[in-house]
Amino acid sequence: MISRVRLASVAVLLLLSSAAVSSAQQADSTHAAVSPARPGRGAIGFQAGSSWFAADGDYSEGALPRMTFMGSFRHVVSSHWSWQASPYFTWAAYGNSTVMAFPDPNFPADETKGQVLLQLVGANAQLQRTGGGPNWRWHVGAGPGAYRVVVQNRRKVLKDPTTKRLHQGTYLAATAQAGIEHFNKKLANTSLELTLASHMAFATRDDQFVDGFNGNPLNLEARFGVHYYFDYKKKGKKPGLPPAPSAPPASTPGH
Protein backbone atom coordinates (compact mmCIF):
# COMPACT_ATOMS: atom_id res chain seq x y z
CA MET A 1 0.00 0.00 0.00
CA ILE A 2 2.83 2.40 0.91
CA SER A 3 4.45 1.89 -2.51
CA ARG A 4 1.21 2.81 -4.27
CA VAL A 5 0.87 5.96 -2.20
CA ARG A 6 4.46 6.91 -3.07
CA LEU A 7 3.80 6.35 -6.77
CA ALA A 8 0.74 8.59 -6.57
CA SER A 9 2.79 11.29 -4.81
CA VAL A 10 5.46 11.15 -7.51
CA ALA A 11 2.79 11.46 -10.19
CA VAL A 12 1.39 14.58 -8.51
CA LEU A 13 4.86 16.16 -8.38
CA LEU A 14 5.49 15.40 -12.06
CA LEU A 15 2.14 16.90 -12.99
CA LEU A 16 2.83 20.11 -11.10
CA SER A 17 6.36 20.36 -12.49
CA SER A 18 5.20 20.04 -16.08
CA ALA A 19 2.50 22.64 -15.43
CA ALA A 20 5.04 25.10 -14.00
CA VAL A 21 7.41 24.67 -16.96
CA SER A 22 4.59 25.14 -19.45
CA SER A 23 3.41 28.25 -17.62
CA ALA A 24 6.86 29.81 -17.65
CA GLN A 25 7.38 29.14 -21.35
CA GLN A 26 4.05 30.66 -22.32
CA ALA A 27 4.53 33.71 -20.13
CA ASP A 28 7.66 34.57 -22.09
CA SER A 29 6.17 33.79 -25.50
CA THR A 30 3.28 36.23 -25.62
CA HIS A 31 1.31 38.60 -23.45
CA ALA A 32 -1.19 39.54 -26.12
CA ALA A 33 -3.17 36.27 -26.11
CA VAL A 34 -5.96 36.00 -23.57
CA SER A 35 -6.79 32.80 -21.71
CA PRO A 36 -10.38 31.52 -21.88
CA ALA A 37 -10.09 31.05 -18.09
CA ARG A 38 -9.92 34.76 -17.45
CA PRO A 39 -11.21 36.48 -14.29
CA GLY A 40 -14.95 36.89 -14.01
CA ARG A 41 -15.83 33.83 -16.11
CA GLY A 42 -17.45 30.55 -15.08
CA ALA A 43 -16.95 26.98 -16.26
CA ILE A 44 -18.86 23.72 -16.17
CA GLY A 45 -17.18 20.35 -16.59
CA PHE A 46 -17.33 16.60 -16.23
CA GLN A 47 -14.59 14.06 -15.53
CA ALA A 48 -14.36 10.28 -15.23
CA GLY A 49 -11.48 8.08 -14.16
CA SER A 50 -10.24 5.37 -11.84
CA SER A 51 -10.33 5.33 -8.04
CA TRP A 52 -8.51 3.10 -5.53
CA PHE A 53 -9.03 3.15 -1.74
CA ALA A 54 -5.69 3.34 0.06
CA ALA A 55 -7.10 3.57 3.63
CA ASP A 56 -8.55 2.90 6.19
CA GLY A 57 -8.69 -0.61 7.66
CA ASP A 58 -11.47 -2.78 6.23
CA TYR A 59 -12.35 -0.04 3.74
CA SER A 60 -9.05 -0.50 1.92
CA GLU A 61 -8.08 -4.13 2.68
CA GLY A 62 -8.51 -6.02 -0.60
CA ALA A 63 -9.99 -2.98 -2.38
CA LEU A 64 -9.98 -3.07 -6.19
CA PRO A 65 -9.86 -0.01 -8.49
CA ARG A 66 -13.22 1.15 -9.82
CA MET A 67 -14.65 4.08 -11.76
CA THR A 68 -15.05 7.59 -10.36
CA PHE A 69 -17.18 10.48 -11.66
CA MET A 70 -17.22 14.17 -10.87
CA GLY A 71 -19.00 17.22 -12.24
CA SER A 72 -17.91 20.76 -11.51
CA PHE A 73 -18.91 24.39 -11.56
CA ARG A 74 -15.87 26.64 -11.50
CA HIS A 75 -15.59 30.42 -11.05
CA VAL A 76 -12.40 32.26 -11.98
CA VAL A 77 -11.80 34.91 -9.33
CA SER A 78 -8.45 36.18 -10.63
CA SER A 79 -5.47 35.05 -12.67
CA HIS A 80 -4.22 33.12 -9.61
CA TRP A 81 -7.36 32.02 -7.78
CA SER A 82 -10.62 30.21 -8.51
CA TRP A 83 -13.20 28.25 -6.58
CA GLN A 84 -15.09 25.10 -7.55
CA ALA A 85 -18.17 23.16 -6.38
CA SER A 86 -18.55 19.52 -7.44
CA PRO A 87 -20.98 16.60 -7.14
CA TYR A 88 -19.02 13.36 -6.77
CA PHE A 89 -19.42 9.56 -6.88
CA THR A 90 -17.11 6.56 -6.67
CA TRP A 91 -17.17 3.01 -5.37
CA ALA A 92 -14.93 0.05 -4.55
CA ALA A 93 -15.21 -3.71 -4.89
CA TYR A 94 -13.11 -6.33 -3.10
CA GLY A 95 -11.20 -9.46 -4.04
CA ASN A 96 -12.69 -12.88 -3.46
CA SER A 97 -9.64 -13.89 -1.42
CA THR A 98 -10.09 -11.09 1.17
CA VAL A 99 -11.54 -12.40 4.43
CA MET A 100 -14.78 -10.83 5.63
CA ALA A 101 -14.32 -8.49 8.61
CA PHE A 102 -17.16 -10.21 10.50
CA PRO A 103 -20.01 -12.63 9.72
CA ASP A 104 -22.79 -10.80 7.91
CA PRO A 105 -26.05 -11.39 9.86
CA ASN A 106 -27.95 -11.40 6.55
CA PHE A 107 -25.54 -13.78 4.77
CA PRO A 108 -23.63 -15.70 7.47
CA ALA A 109 -22.20 -18.17 4.94
CA ASP A 110 -20.13 -15.45 3.22
CA GLU A 111 -16.52 -15.77 4.37
CA THR A 112 -14.92 -13.29 1.92
CA LYS A 113 -15.59 -9.74 0.72
CA GLY A 114 -16.16 -10.79 -2.88
CA GLN A 115 -19.75 -9.46 -2.87
CA VAL A 116 -19.06 -6.32 -0.81
CA LEU A 117 -19.36 -2.84 -2.32
CA LEU A 118 -18.28 0.49 -0.84
CA GLN A 119 -20.02 3.59 -2.18
CA LEU A 120 -18.95 7.20 -1.69
CA VAL A 121 -21.34 9.87 -2.97
CA GLY A 122 -21.76 13.56 -2.17
CA ALA A 123 -20.32 16.97 -2.98
CA ASN A 124 -17.28 19.09 -2.21
CA ALA A 125 -16.02 22.65 -2.59
CA GLN A 126 -12.47 23.80 -3.27
CA LEU A 127 -10.35 26.91 -3.29
CA GLN A 128 -7.80 26.58 -6.09
CA ARG A 129 -4.46 28.24 -6.75
CA THR A 130 -4.01 28.59 -10.50
CA GLY A 131 -1.46 29.62 -13.10
CA GLY A 132 -0.54 29.18 -16.72
CA GLY A 133 -0.89 30.92 -20.04
CA PRO A 134 -3.41 31.30 -22.87
CA ASN A 135 -3.21 27.63 -23.92
CA TRP A 136 -2.32 25.80 -20.71
CA ARG A 137 -3.59 26.19 -17.14
CA TRP A 138 -2.70 24.36 -13.93
CA HIS A 139 -4.28 24.34 -10.51
CA VAL A 140 -3.89 22.88 -7.03
CA GLY A 141 -6.87 22.96 -4.69
CA ALA A 142 -8.36 21.69 -1.46
CA GLY A 143 -11.53 22.05 0.52
CA PRO A 144 -14.33 20.47 2.56
CA GLY A 145 -17.06 18.10 1.49
CA ALA A 146 -19.96 15.98 2.69
CA TYR A 147 -20.13 12.34 1.57
CA ARG A 148 -22.53 9.50 2.18
CA VAL A 149 -20.64 6.27 2.87
CA VAL A 150 -22.51 3.00 2.31
CA VAL A 151 -21.17 -0.56 2.66
CA GLN A 152 -23.26 -3.31 1.05
CA ASN A 153 -22.99 -7.08 0.82
CA ARG A 154 -25.02 -8.66 -1.98
CA ARG A 155 -26.72 -5.29 -2.51
CA LYS A 156 -27.96 -5.15 1.08
CA VAL A 157 -26.53 -2.66 3.57
CA LEU A 158 -24.13 -4.38 5.95
CA LYS A 159 -25.13 -4.51 9.63
CA ASP A 160 -22.78 -4.53 12.61
CA PRO A 161 -23.48 -7.77 14.53
CA THR A 162 -22.90 -6.17 17.94
CA THR A 163 -24.64 -2.80 17.69
CA LYS A 164 -27.12 -3.74 14.92
CA ARG A 165 -26.27 -0.42 13.23
CA LEU A 166 -26.29 -0.25 9.45
CA HIS A 167 -23.01 0.70 7.79
CA GLN A 168 -24.29 3.87 6.14
CA GLY A 169 -24.20 7.54 7.01
CA THR A 170 -23.38 11.05 5.85
CA TYR A 171 -20.07 12.46 7.08
CA LEU A 172 -17.89 15.52 6.75
CA ALA A 173 -15.02 15.04 4.33
CA ALA A 174 -11.98 16.70 2.79
CA THR A 175 -10.56 16.65 -0.73
CA ALA A 176 -7.42 17.79 -2.50
CA GLN A 177 -6.44 17.75 -6.15
CA ALA A 178 -3.96 18.93 -8.76
CA GLY A 179 -4.78 19.32 -12.42
CA ILE A 180 -3.60 20.65 -15.74
CA GLU A 181 -5.79 21.60 -18.68
CA HIS A 182 -5.18 22.43 -22.33
CA PHE A 183 -7.46 24.70 -24.34
CA ASN A 184 -8.62 23.53 -27.74
CA LYS A 185 -7.65 25.85 -30.61
CA LYS A 186 -10.78 25.12 -32.64
CA LEU A 187 -13.08 25.31 -29.60
CA ALA A 188 -11.45 28.21 -27.82
CA ASN A 189 -13.54 28.03 -24.64
CA THR A 190 -13.19 24.27 -24.18
CA SER A 191 -10.36 22.56 -22.30
CA LEU A 192 -9.21 18.98 -21.83
CA GLU A 193 -8.16 18.39 -18.21
CA LEU A 194 -6.14 15.71 -16.40
CA THR A 195 -6.60 15.62 -12.61
CA LEU A 196 -5.06 13.67 -9.73
CA ALA A 197 -7.10 13.79 -6.52
CA SER A 198 -7.82 12.29 -3.12
CA HIS A 199 -10.96 12.20 -0.98
CA MET A 200 -11.37 11.29 2.69
CA ALA A 201 -14.62 10.85 4.63
CA PHE A 202 -14.40 11.16 8.42
CA ALA A 203 -16.58 8.10 9.07
CA THR A 204 -14.99 6.67 12.22
CA ARG A 205 -17.74 5.79 14.71
CA ASP A 206 -16.40 3.60 17.55
CA ASP A 207 -19.78 3.38 19.24
CA GLN A 208 -21.62 2.30 16.08
CA PHE A 209 -19.23 0.03 14.16
CA VAL A 210 -17.61 -2.23 16.74
CA ASP A 211 -16.86 -5.31 14.63
CA GLY A 212 -15.36 -3.73 11.48
CA PHE A 213 -15.53 -1.18 8.68
CA ASN A 214 -14.75 1.54 11.19
CA GLY A 215 -12.36 4.17 9.91
CA ASN A 216 -11.88 7.06 7.50
CA PRO A 217 -12.06 5.80 3.90
CA LEU A 218 -9.48 7.57 1.74
CA ASN A 219 -8.95 7.07 -1.99
CA LEU A 220 -6.49 8.09 -4.69
CA GLU A 221 -7.75 8.72 -8.19
CA ALA A 222 -6.91 9.95 -11.67
CA ARG A 223 -9.58 11.61 -13.83
CA PHE A 224 -9.83 12.99 -17.36
CA GLY A 225 -12.53 15.23 -18.78
CA VAL A 226 -13.58 18.54 -20.30
CA HIS A 227 -14.45 22.03 -19.09
CA TYR A 228 -16.34 24.75 -20.94
CA TYR A 229 -15.70 28.39 -19.97
CA PHE A 230 -18.31 31.08 -20.49
CA ASP A 231 -19.28 34.64 -19.67
CA TYR A 232 -22.19 35.04 -17.28
CA LYS A 233 -23.68 37.81 -19.41
CA LYS A 234 -23.18 38.11 -23.12
CA LYS A 235 -22.29 41.57 -24.23
CA GLY A 236 -24.72 42.63 -26.90
CA LYS A 237 -24.76 45.74 -29.00
CA LYS A 238 -27.09 48.43 -27.82
CA PRO A 239 -29.90 49.07 -30.29
CA GLY A 240 -29.25 52.22 -32.27
CA LEU A 241 -31.51 55.22 -31.90
CA PRO A 242 -33.99 55.79 -34.70
CA PRO A 243 -32.94 58.58 -37.08
CA ALA A 244 -34.34 61.97 -36.23
CA PRO A 245 -37.17 63.06 -38.53
CA SER A 246 -35.99 65.43 -41.18
CA ALA A 247 -37.35 68.94 -41.01
CA PRO A 248 -39.73 69.97 -43.84
CA PRO A 249 -38.19 72.28 -46.42
CA ALA A 250 -38.73 75.96 -45.70
CA SER A 251 -41.43 77.51 -47.89
CA THR A 252 -40.38 80.37 -50.13
CA PRO A 253 -42.63 83.44 -49.85
CA GLY A 254 -44.37 84.38 -53.14
CA HIS A 255 -43.54 87.54 -55.00
Query: CA 233, 45, 37, 74: dihedral to nearest 10 degrees?
Result: 70
Nearest to 197 by CA among 49, 87, 42: 49
pLDDT at 123 over 90: yes
Provide the whole-model pTM.
Answer: 0.78
Domain regions of the chain by residue span: 2-26+40-230
pLDDT of residue 184: 84
User: Cβ distance 41 to 79 under 8 Å?
Assistant: no
- Domain at 2-26+40-230: CATH code: 2.40.160.20
Classify the phi-psi angles of 164: left when phi > 0, otherwise alpha if psi is within -120 to 50, otherwise beta. left
Q: What per-residue string of b and e applies to 194-220 under the rule 16 or more CB within 10 Å gives b?
A: bbbbbbbbebebeebbeebbbbbbbbb
**Tens digit of pLDDT for each residue in 5-56?**
444 444 444 444 444 444 444 443 433 478 899 999 999 999 999 999 999 9
Region of poorest pLDDT, from 39-53, 73-87, 191-205, 228-242: 228-242
Distance CA 92, CA 54 (A): 11
Single out the residue of 191, 164, 162, 166 nearest to residue 179, CA to CA: 191
